[in-house]
Amino acid sequence: MESSPGANVGAALRGSRYGRPMVVLLLAACVDPTPEPAPFTVSVTVAEAQPTVLHVTWESEEPGVGWVTVGRDDVDEQLTTHRDAAPTTHHDILVAGLLPRTVWRVQAHLDVDGDVADSTEVPAKTGSLERGGIVVGSVEGKMESARWLMQGVLGKGGGFVMFDQDGALVWSYVHDFPRLTTRARLTPDGTTVLTGDFDVDEGGPNYGWIRRMSLDGTELDPVPTPGAHHDFAPTPDGYAYLALDVRPVQDHAVVGDQILEVDAEGNLLRTVWSSFDTWSADGATQPEPFYHQGLDWTHSNTLDYDAERDQLVVSVRNLSAILRIDRATGEVAEQIGGPTSDYPTVSGTPFEAQHSPFFVSDDEMLVMDNTFKGVSAVRDYRLDASAGTLTELGSIVSPSGANVSALGDVAHDEDGRTLTSWGTAGSIEEVDADGVPTFRLDLDLGSAFSFFDPVDQLGGPSPD
Q: What is the pTM of this model?
A: 0.89
| Bigger pLDDT: 286 vs 29 | 286
What percent of the chain shows pLDDT beyond 70?
Answer: 91
Alpha helix ranges (H) inside 245-304? 275-278
Q: Where are the domains of the chain?
A: 1-31, 43-125, 136-455
> What one-letter code names the amino acid at 6?
G
Comparing 1-15, 47-61, 341-355, the range with the smallest average pLDDT is 1-15
Provide CB contacts within 8 A for 64, sequence distance 6+. Answer: 84, 87, 88, 89, 110, 111, 112, 113
CATH code, residues 136-455: 2.120.10.30
| Average pLDDT value over all residues in the chain | 90
Listed residue (394, 391, 389) closest to 410, CA to CA: 394
Cα 428 to Cα 409: distance, rounded to the nearest angstrom: 9
* Cα 147 to Cα 455: distance, rounded to the nearest angstrom: 6
State the Cα–Cα distance between residues 438 and 368, nearest whole angstrom: 19
Q: pLDDT tens across 65-103, in order?
A: 999 999 998 888 899 999 999 999 999 999 999 999 999
CATH node for 43-125: 2.60.40.10
Pairing of strands 103-112, 88-95: unpaired
Position 406, amino acid: A
Instruction: Check residue 32 and give its pLDDT.
Output: 52
Q: Is the pLDDT of residue 279 over 70?
A: yes
Rounded to whole angstroms, the Cα distance separating 322 from 38 reads 57
Alpha helix ranges (H) inside 251-394: 275-278
pLDDT digits (tens, 9 = 90+) for 195-224: 999 988 766 777 899 999 999 999 999 999
The fraction of the chain above a pLDDT of 90, given in percent, is 79
**Rg, the chain, Cα only:** 28
- Classify the phi-psi angles of 75: left when phi > 0, otherwise alpha if psi is within -120 to 50, otherwise beta: beta
pLDDT computed for residue 39 by the predictor: 86
pLDDT digits (tens, 9 = 90+) for 297-328: 999 999 999 999 999 999 999 999 999 999 99
Rounded (10°) angle between helices 19-29 and 5-14:
140
pLDDT confidence of residue 35: 62
Find residue 70's DSSP bridge partners. 79, 106
Of 324, 302, 297, 301, which is closest to residue 313 (Cα–Cα)?
324
